[in-house]
Amino acid sequence: MSPGFARTPEDFDPAVRAHRVADVTVTVVADGVPLADAEVVLAQRNHRFLFGNIGFEQIPLANGKLDGEARERAEQIADRWLALFNAATLPFYWGQFERERGAPATEPLLATARWFKERGCVVKGHPLAWHTLAPAWLRDLPVEEVAREQVARIRRDAAAFAGVLDAWDVINEVVIMPVFDKEPNGLTRLCREIGRIPLVRMVFDAAREADPSATLLLNDFDMSTAYECLIEGVLEAGIKIDALGLQSHMHQGYWGEERTLETIDRFARYGLPLHFTETTLVSGHIMPPEIVDLNDYQIPSWPSTPEGEQRQAEEVVRHYTTLLSHPAVVSATYWGLTDGGWLGAPGGFLRADGTPKPSYDALYALVKGDWWTAPTPLRTDAAGRLRFAGFLGAYELGAGGQTAAFDVSFPGETAVTVSI
């Protein structure tokens, strides 16, 4: 280490570097004077990129509902969660959130959202409108009443969580919504009756009105031209979408770099930030390709295997590296930390017993290793300057028992002055 100089841009993966790494010159000032030839410690505190996971599992812990061993285990898992991720998605499935009409389960989710916020995480609610897991009591209401209830639900919940949640998946899976035929539900009827775009407008208007500062997403699993056509129609209709959500449950196998980049390119052309909202890579056998709706694959046991865990770890590294290599992607949320979640799939970073798989260590080695600036002692030059290359995010500089925080928000050459 040369004085006044930490890592250089060349220390980072070239595919990722251009869009995620800044080459920073910091001028350290104390009492208005450059702090020349001084020992300082530079440390990264957060990533600008959102490395997300679902926070469903943390609800009992955040609400103080656990004791003894259960609490201990939950705390260990939470520690693993917080060591790796900085963005949580919380469940607002309407049928569970308001099982009984008029009795929303607001408090436990408010407590959980605050728990994650207090721990420095960005928090998103998922979803405000969806045909699946819609309330049973909605099913037989006339379409007009479904619409009224849907809007009222959004206004109520977006308002209740304003200032706590940072983002919402406002509506989920609109592409299939009007032709979804797995189970009768009010949303499918409503969407078929009024059309996809009027429904998107209705739910976005309600969410925007109730929480103008939240980031509002359109989210879908359909990565085909259908989603493109939907997005183009929605944008052409003048509906303001803040970000596009792309699901990427890969129970049927890793997409690979080519397909992933092709998908990103197609959706990046709308100029909106892309969130990979729901990513899964399994560490067991791959779901057979002939399954169309993943929910149709119900097996008694889907074990995590040593070979599967190796493969998953490699794929996690490739997938995250690919996502970070494209400037349009601003967020990647993984779908579950611990095995045994959705579909019983071994899709987690931790086994069912809570021990980390190789994928956990591999992603940690990127997010808090290769892509991270750990506390680094540096020496300012005669003009009080030091240079470092680092991932975009929040940093802290310590000198003489004082610390100062600063953000690095744009890739490339940048200069900041930090008063300490």
Query: Tokens at residue 355, please?
Result: 């021990």
Q: Which amino acid is at 272?
A: L
Least Å distance, CB 226 to its own copies, is 4
A 10 A CB-CB count for 357 gives: 23
Residue 174 beta carbon to its own copies: minimum distance, rounded to whole angstroms: 8
Pure H helices in 130-255: 143-160, 186-194, 196-210, 225-236
Closer by beta carbon to its own copies, 225 or else 295? 225
Closest distance between its own copies and the C-beta of residue 197, in Å?
4
By beta-carbon proximity to its own copies, the closer residue of 84 and 244 is 244
Q: Would you say 197 or 383 has its CB closer to its own copies? A: 197
Exposure of 216 by Cβ count < 10 A (0-12 exposed, 13-18 middle, 19+ buried)?
Answer: buried
Q: What is the DSSP string of 354-378?
A: SPBPHHHHHHHHIIIIIT----EEE
Q: How far is the CB of 234 from its own copies (least distance, A)?
A: 7
- What's the N-to-C CA distance of the chain in angstroms? 23
Question: Which of 335, 342, 329 has its CA nearest to residue 281?
Answer: 335
Least separation, in Å, of the C-beta of 201 and its own copies? 9
Is there a contact between 35 and 384 (Cβ–Cβ < 8 Å)?
yes
Residue 182 Cβ vs its own copies, minimum distance, rounded to whole Å = 15
Binding-site ranges for its own copies (CB under 8 A): 175-176, 178-179, 192, 195-198, 222, 224-230, 232-237, 266, 269
Q: Residues for the chain: how many in total?
A: 420
Given the complex with its own copies, which of 176 and 281 has the nearer CB atom?
A: 176
Beta bridge partners of 39: 379
In the complex, the smallest distance separating the C-beta of residue 19 from its own copies, rounded to whole angstroms, is: 22
Separation CA 77–CA 58 (nearest Å): 9
Nearest distance in Å: CB 76, its own copies = 43
Instruction: Give the nearer residue to its own copies in terms of CB position, either 197 or 416.
Output: 197
* Closer Cβ to its own copies, 256 or 398, answer by number: 256
* DSSP, residue by residue, 113-150: HHHHHHTT-EEEEE-SB-STT--GGGTTS-HHHHHHHH
Residue number, 136 or 237, with CB nearest to its own copies? 237
Residue 176 or 323: the one with the smaller Cβ distance to its own copies is 176
3-state secondary structure 98-109: CCCCCCCCHHHH
Instruction: Report, in Å, the least distance between residue 199 CB and its own copies.
Output: 10
Q: Which is nearer to its own copies, 200 or 345 (CB)?
A: 200
Residue 283 contacts residue 315 (beta carbons within 8 Å): no
What contacts 28, CB < 8 A, 6 or more positions away? 34, 35, 38, 40, 380, 384, 385, 386, 397, 399, 417, 418, 420
